[in-house]
Amino acid sequence: MGSIEKIHEMLTTKQCSCAELTKSYLKEIEKSNGELNAYVNVTGDEALKTAAIVDEKIASGEQIGMLEGVPMTLKDNLSTKGIETTCCSKILKGYKPIYNATVWDILSKQNAVMLGKTNMDEFAMGSSCETSCFGGAANPFDTGHVSGGSSGGVASAVGANIAPYGLGSDTGGSIRQPASFCGIVGLKPTYGAVSRYGLIAYASSLDQIGPITKTVEDASIVFDAISKYDDRDSTSKGNVGGDTYSKLNNDIKGSKIGIAREYIDGVRDDVKNAVLNAAKVYESLGAEIVYFDLPALKFALPVYYIIACAEASSNLGRYDGIRYGYKTSHYNGTHDMICRTRSEGFGEEVKRRILLGTYVLSAGYYDAYYKKAQNLRGTIIKAFNNAFENCDIILAPTVPMTAFETGHAVSDPIETYLTDICTVPVNIAGLPGVSIPCGFNAKGMPIGMQLIGKSFNEATILNAAYKYQQAAPENFKDTKWGVKL
Amino acid sequence: MVTREDVENIALLSKLFVPEEELDGLTQSMQEIIDFADTINNAPTSGEAFDNINNLSNVFREDEVVESYSSEEILKNAPEQAENHFLVRNRE
Amino acid sequence: MKYELVAGFETHIELATKTKIFCGCTTRFGGEPNSHCCPVCIGLPGTLPKLNRQAVRYAIMAGLATHGEIAKISKMDRKNYCYPDLPKAYQISQLYAPLSIGGYVELSNGRKIRLHHIHIEEDAGKLIHRHGDTYVDYNRGGVPLIEIVSEPDIRSIDEAREYVEKLQQVMRYIGISDCKMQEGSMRCDVNISVRPEGTEKLGTRTEIKNMNSINNIARAMEYEFERQVDLIESGGKVVQETLRYDDATNTTSPMRSKEDAHDYRYFRDPDLVTINVSREEVEEIRASLPELPADKCRRYIDELGIPEKDAQLLTKYRKISEYFDAAREGVKSPKTVSNFIIGQIFRRTETESDKEVFDVSVTPEQLNELVKLLDSGKIRNNLAKSTLEKMLDSGKGALEFISESDMGGLDEETMITLCRQAIEENKKAVEDYRGGKEKALKALLGNVMKNSRGKADAAAAEAKLKEMIG
């Protein structure tokens, strides 16, 4: 049973009240957040208010929904009306949105109890959570290691049981990679399945919101709840593939699981072995493993960085100190004010990506970089389509390595970018991918693998993930932290 | 080849100040990233044009008025405001 | 050396949609600052645009009305530049796949000013500079615009004037914009260069902005033409730059500072999807368009026998031509209707804006009734004219001023009776006439007219008298 189902049962059978449950989470947050730095803003008062509403409903004998009264957290790039939303950037400090992101609209209407907003790499640009203006979030398995990025805070909180679940965003791996580093489950849905309205954009054609959870059931429940068509997002399609929860535990006998050699070559041995062992588990469950080549993947990383940075350079132009957020205090004229505000408000990595994005879009370079990258995006999508003619699911490592030690990631940008090599192709092609834990390295740090599906086939990959979770529960390990349900 | 002038130019377009002493370092770092990006030029060009992820088209709103926010709400987060306007004072 | 002016126009027109291009905020002009705004049109982080269907339809109408080809596939792009009036630091516009391609505007001299394309985009907010401080109001931000980009085909100030007037006329006709230059719902930027007459090569061009009337456009172009010619004549070179026109001094001066970099880094907006315009939809829209002024004018001349000058007056504004069309319904001579409108009603709608609104106290149906009385011979022209004045004064119908006895007196029987009476009462005149004095008939005619109390048609009475005494 997943955490959400367990909490739902505890509430409906009155083993504890929602207020008591919420308080125990808040207490654990207070105890451990100093060390973990998972939360950047704890919203205890609001959480208890919602808990009181839920308790009243339960007391009056009303039915409550599966997510009702269940505590949770949101990455700090999801807009929450009246609650500071910063993207962990100095430039948005103090900004309180006047509207809700669609996902928060959906969940708050179901009386989800938000414990607070969680840490992330500044504007979701990073793989370690260390570009956050609040400093990085620590890994619950070993606080000397990073939680991963960019949704590091959510992963750290969920991994440390100081949130039952959370929503992150994934542009090039930002849900799956920290989930992998923290030994938990992270689902990046098909592009268009979840509305992006209210998600502060990094790269609009790649961004997707998804759940980070302890178990596959939890991921499935949350995905089903948030994957709704939204008429405020022109790229929204909703959950075309239908409900996933009812399809968990379908037989996977005869399913074809593909492994692309390009995904396996070049990853560290412990990671490679864990993934190949998982393949064996699938074989034992009756699935067929097929190997194939996906040469187009070689270009995925530069294609990703060109497109992501180009879109980011445009999306981040609006932070000018006029309408919201940080404004420099000393300047001479409007142009000077804007330049100073941006130079002081953005961190180094964000500035680097804005400059790169501006460069690849500028006159004389547009064709060689941006246009060519868009063309290759078509090639990569086609390659995945071809691959899916011979398999139902692609199995791959989530990250070529395990969580690195704190302070190690930021030195060389290119090397850092390489950690995204297994996650970015899914964003480029808009496909769904779920990362689940599949073992540990010699130091006991978790290893993750991802299951990639055809567009809107979340049910297929979640079912396969669930099957693995049932077959190898030892890889879904608890940490010393937080609330014990 | 990324030049100092390129970096100065894109910094201006990006509305970012790059201090003189950081210019050489940044140029070098940009060059490395661009070299990395350049690897796509070895990729075979295919005819697979990319339009948008789910090949969506004709997603429209109807021309129906929705009530606007109050100017108070709109200006709520403004670092500075006056007379219902966002304000940029010339000098501080 | 004689120089030739070469000019092209970029014309922005605000579309008359009820809501903004990407959100449901009203497009109404005015209002408290920042009171027609929402998270989308002030570009709050995380908001997304959703395209107004009507804006696309209006742009297609504009394309069809200017003989453009409507693109099968059209896309939205981002034009990136950072300025306080642009809340997202990019304007959603179209570069790579605009809605309408090509087309032309035909001038009265028969020349066709070719259009490069028409695209849709969002308007920016408004900046007010006071004591060096900048006040920003986003009410106008996100109002839908079309930009009509012409080729450099304009060769004189007169052509420039007519081009703008024609665009204004057509866009108002099809009802997609009020095209008020003073209120900024129509704005023109002019690209202008000069070259020695008879040469082909285009000179270096400058772009003039900030002209809020057709007269200003003409004056600015005149000034800029002279300036460029003087510059070249004195051995100088025209620098490609953007100029601002100052109507107080009637001069142009460079507009942008070096802070403003010029690279817009256009790319496809990932927040918006492709616009597919089916050929059926294009034909449906084409069929829904009203007859265009040029076609209507031609038809008035060819089919109704209206003189060209009058036809142009009648078709200048859609309301006038609609009035004319309603008032001429079933009448024998449309020209009579035209004469009443141009002769009498126009005196009551003196200004151009009065003519554009054409809010006349007499309904076209009332005018139609009056003209039909004239047609049937029941009243004559003078009575009709004076009656129309009374109608215009009061807004009442013709029958309020013409009694039964004023009409119907012209039937054959009454005419004969009146003529016989005149002959009997003026024996002397009859004899004089028979004796060869043509003028004597005047007395008889006067008698008939008098006794008919002005109803008789003079020509008819004269013919009848001649017949009876001749």
pLDDT tens across A264-316, in order? Answer: 988 899 999 999 999 999 999 999 999 999 999 989 999 999 999 999 999 99
Chains touching A (3+ CB pairs < 8 Å):
B, C
pLDDT for position C373: 87
Verify whether residue A150 is a known catalytic residue: yes
Tokens, residue C465: 């008298």
Query: Does pLDDT of C257 surpass 70?
Result: no
Query: Does pLDDT of B90 surpass 90?
Result: no
Q: pLDDT tens-digit profile of C32-81?
A: 999 999 999 999 999 999 999 999 999 999 999 999 999 999 999 999 99
**In this predicted model, which residue has the larger pLDDT, C424 or A105?**
A105
pLDDT for position A458: 98
Q: Taking CB atoms and an 8 Å limit, are A322 and B86 in contact across chains?
A: yes
Lowest pLDDT segment from A30-34, A98-102, C431-435: C431-435
Q: How confident is the model over C331-358, as a mean pLDDT?
A: 90
Verify whether residue A75 is a known catalytic residue: yes
Asked whether A189 and A223 are in contact (CB, 8 A), the reply is yes
Chain mean position to CA C60: 19
Q: How confident is the model over A34-39, as a mean pLDDT?
A: 98
Query: Beta B85-88 vs B81-82: how paired, if at all?
Result: antiparallel
Q: Residues 6 or more apart from A296 whose CB is under 8 A from it? A: A376, A379, A380, A382, A383
**Beta carbon pairs, A and B, within 8 Å:** 155
Q: How confident is the model over A111-137, as a mean pLDDT?
A: 97
Residue with token string 């028409």: C118
- Chain B CB contacts of A322 under 8 Å are 78-79, 86, 88
- The region that residue C231 occupies, defined by phi over 0 for left and psi between -120 and 50 for alpha, beta otherwise, is alpha
Q: pLDDT tens-digit profile of A306-362?
A: 999 999 999 999 999 999 999 999 999 999 999 999 999 999 999 999 999 999 999
H or E stretch at C345: none
Instruction: List the domain boundaries for chain C.
Output: 3-284, 291-406, 412-469
pLDDT for position C462: 84
Q: Which CATH architecture has domain C412-469?
A: Orthogonal Bundle (1.10)
Closest CB from B52, B68, B88 relative to C84 = B88
Give the span between the Cα atoms of A463 and A247, in whole angstroms.
7
Query: Does pLDDT of A108 surpass 90?
Result: yes
Query: Does pLDDT of C259 surpass 60?
Result: no
Give the span between the Cα atoms of C209 and C213, in whole angstroms.
12
Q: Note the ipTM here.
A: 0.96
Q: Taking CB atoms and an 8 Å limit, are A318 and C46 in contact across chains?
A: no
Query: Does pLDDT of A411 surpass 70?
Result: no
**In this predicted model, which residue has the larger pLDDT, C75 or A149?**
C75
Q: How confident is the model over B31-47, as a mean pLDDT?
A: 85
pLDDT for position C444: 86
pLDDT for position C313: 93
pLDDT for position A409: 65
Tokens, residue C416: 């004969």
pLDDT for position C380: 80
DSSP tag of C411? S
pLDDT for position C409: 52
Give the span between the Cα atoms of C150 and A333, in whole angstroms.
36
- The whole-model pTM stands at 0.91
> B74 CB near a chain C CB, below 8 Å?
yes
User: Partners of A447 in the beta sheet?
Assistant: A439
A205-230 burial, b at 16+ Cβ within 10 Å, e below that, comes to: bbbbbbbbbbbbbbbbbbbbbbbbeb
Q: How confident is the model over C397-416, as a mean pLDDT?
A: 71
- Chain C CB contacts of A320 under 8 Å are 82, 84, 89
pLDDT for position C408: 54
- Chain C CB contacts of B84 under 8 Å are 32-35, 137
Q: Grade residue C140 by pLDDT with cuts at 50, 70 and 90.
A: very high
Query: Does pLDDT of A180 surpass 80?
Result: yes
Tokens, residue A226: 């948030």
- The region that residue C395 occupies, defined by phi over 0 for left and psi between -120 and 50 for alpha, beta otherwise, is left
For chain A, what is the mean pLDDT? 96
Lowest pLDDT segment from A421-425, B73-77, C93-97, C244-248: C244-248
**In this predicted model, which residue has the larger pLDDT, A234 or C412?**
A234
For chain C, what is the mean pLDDT? 91
Residue from A32, A79, A174, A220 carrying the catalytic annotation: A174
pLDDT for position A75: 98
Verify whether residue A435 is a known catalytic residue: no
Q: How confident is the model over C18-45, as a mean pLDDT?
A: 97
Tokens, residue B7: 């970096």
Q: pLDDT tens-digit profile of C80-129?
A: 999 999 999 999 999 999 999 999 999 999 999 999 999 999 999 999 99
Tokens, residue A110: 């179901």
Q: How confident is the model over C226-254, as a mean pLDDT?
A: 92
pLDDT for position C410: 62
pLDDT for position C194: 96
Closest CB from C265, C270, C273 relative to A358 = C265
Q: pLDDT tens-digit profile of A160-176?
A: 999 999 999 999 999 99
H or E stretch at C329: none
Asked whether A188 and A451 are in contact (CB, 8 A), the reply is no
- Three-state SS string across chain A, please? CCHHHHHHHHHHCCCCCHHHHHHHHHHHHHHHHHHHCCEEEECHHHHHHHHHHHHHHHHCCCCCCCCCCCEEEEECCECECCECCCCCCHHHCCCCCCCCCHHHHHHHHCCCEEEEEECCCHHHCCCCCCCCCCCCCEECCEEEEECCCCCHHHHHHHHCCCCCEEEEEECCCCCHHHHHHCCCEEEECCCCCCCCCCECCCCCCCCEEEEEECCHHHHHHHHHHHCCCCCCCCCCCCCCCCCCHHHCCCCCCCCEEEEEHHHHCCCCHHHHHHHHHHHHHHHHCCCEEEEECCHHHHHHHHHHHHHHHHHHHHHHHHCCCCCCCCCCCCCECHHHHHHHHHHHHCCHHHHHHHHHHHHHHCCCCCHHHHHHHHHHHHHHHHHHHHHCCCCCEEEEECCCCCCCECCCCCCCHHHHHHCCCCCHHHHHHCCCEEEEEEEECCCCCEEEEEEEECCCCHHHHHHHHHHHHHHCHHHCCCCCCCCCC
Dihedral of alpha carbons A277, A279, A285, A291, sign = negative
Query: Does pLDDT of A177 surpass 70?
Result: yes
Q: How confident is the model over C206-221, as a mean pLDDT?
A: 92
Domain A3-294+382-475 CATH class label: alpha beta
Q: Taking CB atoms and an 8 Å limit, are B88 and C38 in contact across chains?
A: no
Q: Taking CB atoms and an 8 Å limit, are A334 and B88 in contact across chains?
A: yes
Q: Taking CB atoms and an 8 Å limit, are B75 and C25 in contact across chains?
A: no
Query: Does pLDDT of C368 surpass 70?
Result: yes
User: From the candidates B15, B39, B73, B92, which should be mutated to test the interface with A, based on the most A CB atoms within 10 A?
Assistant: B15
User: Partners of C147 in the beta sheet?
Assistant: C12, C119
pLDDT for position A376: 94
Q: Grade residue C399 by pLDDT with cuts at 50, 70 and 90.
A: confident
pLDDT for position C468: 85
